[in-house]
Structures are given as C-alpha cells and as structure tokens.
Chain A
Amino acid sequence: MSSGPLIEIRRLYKSYTRGGQAIPVLTDVSFEIGRGEFLALMGPSGSGKSTLLNCLAGIDRVDSGEIVVNGQDITLLDETDLARWRSRSVGFIFQFYNLIPVLTALENVELPLLLTGLTRRERREHAAAALAAVGLSDRSDHYPAQLSGGQQQRVAIARAVVTDPDILVADEPTGDLDRTSAEEILTLMNRLNQELEKTIIMVTHDPRAAQEAHVLRHLDKGELSRAADTPGR
C-alpha cells in the first residue's frame, strides 16, 4: 500500500446549463482525502454537496479538473471502465436506500456480486455474511417494503460493502430516519471505518452525524471552506 492521500481532487469545475445559461455548481474545488478517513461534507442546500460526491464516486462528470484515486485519474475513464471501477472501488449509500423493491434483502445484497467472478454459492455466502454484519440475518427473506427505514438502510449498507470496496459514499444516509435509527446507522458506519478501514465520504445536514466523522468540510456556493475542521470528540 502506498502512503499519501487515497483521493486527490484538483481544480474541479462543474456547471449545469439551464435555459442556455451555464450555472456554476463547483468552482475550483481542490482537496485531499486520506486513506481510512471519515469525511463529513456539510453546507447549505444547493451548495453542490451531492454534485461533488457524485463526481468523486464516478456517477457524474466534471467539466474540468482531476480526481485521482489510488494514482488513477477517474475523469479520464470511459463509461464502461468507469462502471467497472465503481463496481470494484465504491460502495453507495443513498438517502432513500434505493433497494430494488421486488428483490428480497438477501437478493439486494447479492446484486453487486453478479458483476464479480464468484459462483452462485459464494455469492450467497458473501451476501449472507454482509447481512449478518449489519445484524439482519433474520430478515434475509424480507422484501424492502416489509422492513423499517433503518433496516432498509442497513441492507443498503450491506449491499455497499459486500464487494469490499475501499471507498463508501453516503448522501444524507440518515436524512430520512428517526433519531434512534440514525444513530444505529452512524454507529455502523463508524464500525466500518474503524474495523474494516473503509474510507467514508458522507454528505449530511445533521450536525450529530457530522460528529461521527474525523474531518469536516464545508461547501458553500460551490467553494470549499479552506481549512478542514476537526469535529470535537
């Protein structure tokens, strides 16, 4: 393993065109994310947090700039290579869980493994282990609609980690949950960070969620606040 940052973001620009007019969303964003870091990204609504996260995770394109992950600039990859990179390197946790409603919890967790070379039995075993890790072994045959929000988010986390990616990205993972469930999720993410050494990038509005992170960054009007805050804990 090389030392130094896992992700380097250099001079990132991104704008959307609406009605023929370019609206800048990210302007000259540069920062680094260390290996094993738990980063919380905060900022007012519309400041470009989701956009930045999507670009980092390879599901949105930048206008210019570099995103170097493990020495590789992912902005240079074509769609196919980018998809392959995502499936190997990034686990996704969304605000609304985004499970496939017609598949059971176990099948949802198994889904990303279809893109690996594992046999059916190995896939089942891996998926069951991931579900066990989030404490939902007894719900493997349940459909998303039969699970609470917190349980669905835990299934989503199992799906995110089942392929053992280096990076986890989470866009407001507790945004749709009550206090207790939110705390469960945050504890779980912290464990993933501590025990499995996942690098986590989390967008959040919730100051208590941000407390869990090691590093806090503020985004405002597409610009990153210069210094990285370290939450008191």
Chain B
Amino acid sequence: MLLIRLAVKNAFRHRLRSVLTILGVAVAILAFGLLRTVVDAWYSGVEASAADRLVTRNAISLTFSLPLAYREKIRAVPGVTEVSQGNWFGGIYVDEKNFFANFAYDIPSLLAIYPEISVKDKDQLSSLLRDRKGALVGEKLAKRFGWKVGDQVTLRGTIFIGDWDFTIRALYKATRAGIDESQFFFHWTYLDETLRATMPTRAGQVGFYMVGIDDPSRSADISRAIDAQFANSLAETLTETEKAFQMGFVSMSSAIILAIKLVSFVVVLIILAVSANTMAMSARERSGEYAVLKTLGFGSSTLALLIAGEALALSVTGACLGLALVLPCAKAVGSFMTDFFPVFLVSDQTITLSLAAGVAVGLLSAAYPALYAARVGIAQALRKVG
C-alpha cells in the first residue's frame, strides 16, 4: 500500500542517519541478548534441574558430610525410587585456570536418576562400570582438552589431597539443552577406598545424596519424611528439590545478576533515547509535509501510523540485525567463557524479548513525533515551507 511505502521510504530518507540508528539498535539488541544469555547461563543449573529429583545434604551446611549409612535409610522412604551419593571433588587438571566441575558419584544410580546424561556407546558404559579408576566425561569437556576414551588423566586434589589418576572410559552427551556437558564423574568407591587406606577418618562420608522420586507433586512430603528420619541425630539432614538446591548457588551471586539485568534494560533505554531523537528530528523537518497531508484530508491517526511505521521500520530492522548477530556472538562468547558458563545458549525467551524491545523502541520513539504531527497547525506549518 502507498502509505506503507511512504513510511518505509521516509525511514530511509537520510541514509547515514538511518544506517546509524539501525546500527545503534542492532548493537543495543546484541548487548541486550548477550547480557540476558549471561543471566540465563547463571541459571542454567536451575533450569536443568528436574522436578523429580531431590538433594539431601547436611543441615548445617554443604561443607559438612553425611554418613554412608543414610543411603539405605533414604532409599526406604516411600516415594523414593533411587538414591545416589556424591562428593564435590574439586580436583584441578594441570592448572587452576582449567576449571571444570568434577564429582565422585555412584555412577550406576547417577545414570538412573539422570536420564539426560546419556552414554550412547554401550561398550564404553560397560568398561566404565568395570574400571575402578574409570571416568565419565562430558563431550564438551573432552573436546576442550582433546581427551579420548582410554586417555589417562591426573587430577590434583584440593579437598582430598594428592594426585589422582583416572582413565577416561566413557563420554556422555546431554539429551536436553541446558545440561552441562563439561562435567567429570568418577566412581565414588574409588574415592572411598583410597581414603579408607590413607585417611580412614574421612572414609564413609558422603557430600550429598541425589534422590529420585516417583511423584514430583509429593516432593515436599517426601523431603520432610527423609529429614524426619535423621532428626535429633548427629548429622541432621536438609532435603530440598534439585531446583531449590541449585538456586542456592545462584542466589549467592544475585546482586551481580541483578546488576546485569539492570544494565541490559539500561542499554535498551539508551537506544530508545537515540531512536526517539532521530524520529523527533525527522518529524520537525517534515512538519511541512505533514501539513500537506493534513491539507489533503488525512487525519492525525493516519499520520501517527505513518510515523510509527517509519520508526518500526528502523527499530525492527535494527533488532533483527542485532538478533542475527546474537547467535554467532553467543557461540563465540560461549566457547571463550566455557570455564565460567558451561551452558551458554540464547533462549527463545531472549529472542522474543529482544524483538519485543525492538518493537517497543519503535512505538515509543514514534509517540512524541506523532503527537507533534497531530498538533501541527496546517497554516503555520505551510507558512514555514514558504
């Protein structure tokens, strides 16, 4: 339609100004998208958690352990389907900057509770289960260090002092986006048996229990039932959903996250100001044309649509350009910061929000010029042209 053509043509009347505005919006949307992805990455552990998993830990704090004997007691609580014990190992590979998550876990029950952790190669799986020093490694982590199945890897213990040798026996893939593919798991029994020989006092101690349940809607009841088992014992427990457990880690950095979120919105506000300024400039320059359109009988609402169309043409073009850049940039940033953010994916929500931000910037920056055009007195504006 002619009016749409007019709006689009108006948008690109001042090439340089339009291109700069579009670039500004694109950069802002890029920044917005990346910042939101950083926030999402922080929450990736929370997002990846399932409703049918609970975590039982020492009620005092995570740094206190629980006896291994609790395992069978938790197992016996009605509604519990599987229990796996784990310890944060905190081992370092060659250098501290090579950080990745590594755990001692009871691997068969871990795989039962986490169907998302998938070992495709059944031969790898059986050799992992046979080898006491075998390790299960995420594909992303293996790729990062060039590890292959059969490779020997030594981790330097920080919590459990000493050099610990492992053989990589199996690689896992996440069957769901959001699950960290850069974790390192080894047999809990290897840790425990070694400690039994070197530091007997620390043997038989479990960092936390991962608990599978049959009915997510009963998670609160089951948690209470588990904790009731150990009330008034030497090591009381605190059981919560995996989500709440992960959230506990995130909330430690909530101030930073809030700051990042704020910055992401400030970026959009700044670009709104830039875009509004561009539109206001255009509106002023065109007051004569608006007067002509009004003279011909076009109403203020038509002019408002014309201006909104022009603003949207700029801001949505910019937003799309920004979004087109977000995906490759997120990939680049993600691989660069894989130590900090093992999961760095642009979510659908981020894409939707970015587009919405583009549309909002367009509409809001059109508001003042539309009002201005509505107020333009025909005779006055025509006088200026003459």
Residues of A within 8 A of B (CB): 50-51, 54, 59-60, 80, 83-84, 86-88, 92, 94-96, 98, 100, 102-103, 107, 110-112, 114-115, 159, 171
- Kindly state the separation between the CA atoms of A176 and B72 in the bound complex, as whole angstroms: 99
Chain A residues, CB < 8 A from B382: 54, 59, 94, 98
Chain B residues, CB < 8 A from A83: 294, 297-299
Instruction: Assess the B292–A98 pair: CB atoms within 8 A.
Output: yes
Q: List 17 A-B contacts (CB under 8 A).
A: A50-B383, A54-B378, A59-B295, A83-B294, A83-B299, A86-B296, A98-B288, A98-B292, A98-B382, A98-B385, A100-B293, A103-B9, A112-B296, A114-B3, A114-B298, A115-B298, A159-B296
Is B2 part of the binding interface, using a Cβ–Cβ cutoff of 8 Å? yes
- What is the minimal beta-carbon distance from A46 to any residue of chain B, in angstroms? 12
Q: Which of B96-150 contact A (CB under 8 A)?
A: none
- Known contacts: A92-B295, A100-B289. The answer to whether A111 contacts B2 by CB under 8 A is yes
- What is the minimal beta-carbon distance from A44 to any residue of chain B, in angstroms? 17
Q: Which of B3-54 contact A (CB under 8 A)?
A: 3, 5-6, 9-10, 13
- Known contacts: A59-B379, A59-B382, A60-B379. The answer to whether A100 contacts B292 by CB under 8 A is yes
Instruction: Assess the B297–A86 pair: CB atoms within 8 A.
Output: yes
- Known contacts: A59-B378, A95-B386. The answer to whether A87 contacts B9 by CB under 8 A is no
Instruction: Assess the B296–A100 pair: CB atoms within 8 A.
Output: no
- What is the minimal beta-carbon distance from B385 to any residue of chain A, in angstroms? 6
Chain A residues, CB < 8 A from B296: 86-87, 92, 111-112, 115, 159
Instruction: Assess the A100–B298 pair: CB atoms within 8 A.
Output: no
- Kindly state the separation between the CA atoms of A94 and B385 in the bound complex, as whole angstroms: 10
- Kindly state the separation between the CA atoms of A87 and B383 in the bound complex, as whole angstroms: 20
Q: Which of B336-380 contact A (CB under 8 A)?
A: 377-379
- What is the minimal beta-carbon distance from B384 to any residue of chain A, in angstroms? 11
**Total A-B Cβ pairs within 8 A:** 68
Instruction: Assess the A102–B298 pair: CB atoms within 8 A.
Output: no
Instruction: Assess the B13–A102 pair: CB atoms within 8 A.
Output: yes
Residues of B within 8 A of A (CB): 2-3, 5-6, 9-10, 13, 288-289, 292-299, 377-379, 382-383, 385-386
- Kindly state the separation between the CA atoms of A42 and B47 in the bound complex, as whole angstroms: 79
Instruction: Assess the B297–A112 pair: CB atoms within 8 A.
Output: yes
Chain B residues, CB < 8 A from A171: 386
- Kindly state the separation between the CA atoms of A87 and B377 in the bound complex, as whole angstroms: 17
- What is the minimal beta-carbon distance from B37 to any residue of chain A, in angstroms? 39
- What is the minimal beta-carbon distance from A153 to any residue of chain B, in angstroms? 14
Chain A residues, CB < 8 A from B385: 94, 96, 98
Instruction: Assess the B2–A114 pair: CB atoms within 8 A.
Output: yes
- What is the minimal beta-carbon distance from A137 to any residue of chain B, in angstroms? 19
Instruction: Assess the A110–B295 pair: CB atoms within 8 A.
Output: no
Considering only CB atoms, which chain B residue lies closest to A80 in the complex? Answer: B299
- What is the minimal beta-carbon distance from B293 to any residue of chain A, in angstroms? 8
- Known contacts: A60-B378, A60-B379, A83-B298. The answer to whether A96 contacts B292 by CB under 8 A is no
- What is the minimal beta-carbon distance from B345 to any residue of chain A, in angstroms? 42
Considering only CB atoms, which chain B residue lies closest to A102 in the complex? Answer: B9
Instruction: Assess the A84–B297 pair: CB atoms within 8 A.
Output: yes
- Kindly state the separation between the CA atoms of A96 and B385 in the bound complex, as whole angstroms: 8
- Kindly state the separation between the CA atoms of A112 and B292 in the bound complex, as whole angstroms: 10
Considering only CB atoms, which chain B residue lies closest to A159 in the complex? Answer: B296
Considering only CB atoms, which chain B residue lies closest to A103 in the complex? Answer: B6
Instruction: Assess the B379–A54 pair: CB atoms within 8 A.
Output: yes
Instruction: Assess the B378–A102 pair: CB atoms within 8 A.
Output: no
- What is the minimal beta-carbon distance from B302 to any residue of chain A, in angstroms? 9
- What is the minimal beta-carbon distance from B1 to any residue of chain A, in angstroms? 8
- Kindly state the separation between the CA atoms of A228 and B385 in the bound complex, as whole angstroms: 31
11 further A-B pairs in the complex, CB-CB below 8 A; given A83-B299, A107-B5, A111-B296? A50-B379, A60-B379, A84-B297, A87-B297, A88-B297, A92-B296, A95-B386, A98-B288, A100-B292, A103-B5, A115-B297
Chain A residues, CB < 8 A from B378: 54, 59-60
- Kindly state the separation between the CA atoms of A159 and B295 in the bound complex, as whole angstroms: 12
- Kindly state the separation between the CA atoms of A153 and B315 in the bound complex, as whole angstroms: 36
- Kindly state the separation between the CA atoms of A12 and B10 in the bound complex, as whole angstroms: 39
- Kindly state the separation between the CA atoms of A107 and B3 in the bound complex, as whole angstroms: 10
- What is the minimal beta-carbon distance from B11 to any residue of chain A, in angstroms? 10
Considering only CB atoms, which chain A residue lies closest to B8 in the complex? Answer: A102
- Kindly state the separation between the CA atoms of A86 and B294 in the bound complex, as whole angstroms: 9
Instruction: Assess the B299–A86 pair: CB atoms within 8 A.
Output: no
- Kindly state the separation between the CA atoms of A54 and B291 in the bound complex, as whole angstroms: 12
- What is the minimal beta-carbon distance from B30 to any residue of chain A, in angstroms? 30
Chain B residues, CB < 8 A from A98: 288-289, 292, 382, 385
- Kindly state the separation between the CA atoms of A185 and B84 in the bound complex, as whole angstroms: 94
- Kindly state the separation between the CA atoms of A86 and B379 in the bound complex, as whole angstroms: 14
Chain B residues, CB < 8 A from A50: 379, 383
Chain B residues, CB < 8 A from A51: 379
- What is the minimal beta-carbon distance from A84 to any residue of chain B, in angstroms? 6
- Kindly state the separation between the CA atoms of A91 and B323 in the bound complex, as whole angstroms: 47
- Kindly state the separation between the CA atoms of A66 and B383 in the bound complex, as whole angstroms: 24
Chain A residues, CB < 8 A from B13: 102
